[in-house]
Amino acid sequence: MVSTEYERRIAARFATFDQDGNGWIDREDFSAAAKALLAEFAVTARSDKGQALYVGAEAFWQGMAGIADRDGDQRITREEFVTGAVKRLRDNPDRFAEIARPFLHAALALADTDADGRITVSGAARVLRALRVPADLAEAAATALDTDGDGEVDEREIVPAFARYFTVPE
């Protein structure tokens, strides 16, 4: 039973990671996210961009498991997420940014078709929708990512925003 605003927000963060919705976070969720992004942008897994995304997804999973999988069963349960990940990420948002950065960098490269290191707000929304963020939320979140309001989103905006999103204040 989700009762408080804090718990509701935690549940939403958990659902973002639990891409297949089976109730725990594991390596499959990260590879599913990579696969969905590659399909959305019609990039093959064997391409350089595809390989970078899978390497980033694996590093992200390893980092999250190192923080949160306390019993070492290669699954992060909701309880491990709440008691491990959320608290430790809140205590150390920079660490979280480092864990997520290779994946975010590779995801940005998929959408960055002219390779100038920046994507449009609608491109960012497309990335978020591919990661199963509901369409209306994806638009709002992508707009919020563009912190300097120039209509484009770059890595300096994405990585800290992502860390902020997951470091939920109590």
Residue 18 binds Ca ion (CB under 5 A): yes
Binding mask 22-61 for Ca ion (x = CB under 5 A): x------x--------------------------------
Residue 79 binds Ca ion (CB under 5 A): no
Stretch that binds Ca ion, among 4-12, 70-78, 95-103, 124-132 (CB under 5 A): 70-78
Q: Answer whether 37's CB lies under 8 Å from 130's CB.
A: yes
User: Of 48 and 79, which CB lies nearer to Ca ion in the complex structure?
Assistant: 79
**List of residues 6+ apart from 154 with CB closer than 8 A:** 108, 117, 118, 119
* Per-residue CA distances from 102 to 9, 83, 139, 159 (Å): 25, 25, 23, 10
Distance CA 128, CA 147 (A): 17
CB atoms within 10 A of CB 91: 10
Least distance CB 46 / Ca ion (angstroms): 25
* Per-residue CA distances from 34 to 39, 130, 148 (Å): 9, 9, 28
Phi/psi at 136 (5° precision): -65, -40
Site residues for Ca ion, 120-149, by CB under 5 A, read 146, 148
Question: How many residues would you count in the chain?
Answer: 170
Least distance CB 167 / Ca ion (angstroms): 21
Least distance CB 18 / Ca ion (angstroms): 4
Residue 112 binds Ca ion (CB under 5 A): no
User: Of 23 and 42, which CB lies nearer to Ca ion in the complex structure?
Assistant: 23
Residue 83 binds Ca ion (CB under 5 A): no
- Contacting positions for Ca ion (CB under 5 A): 18, 20, 22, 29, 69, 71, 73, 75, 146, 148, 150, 152
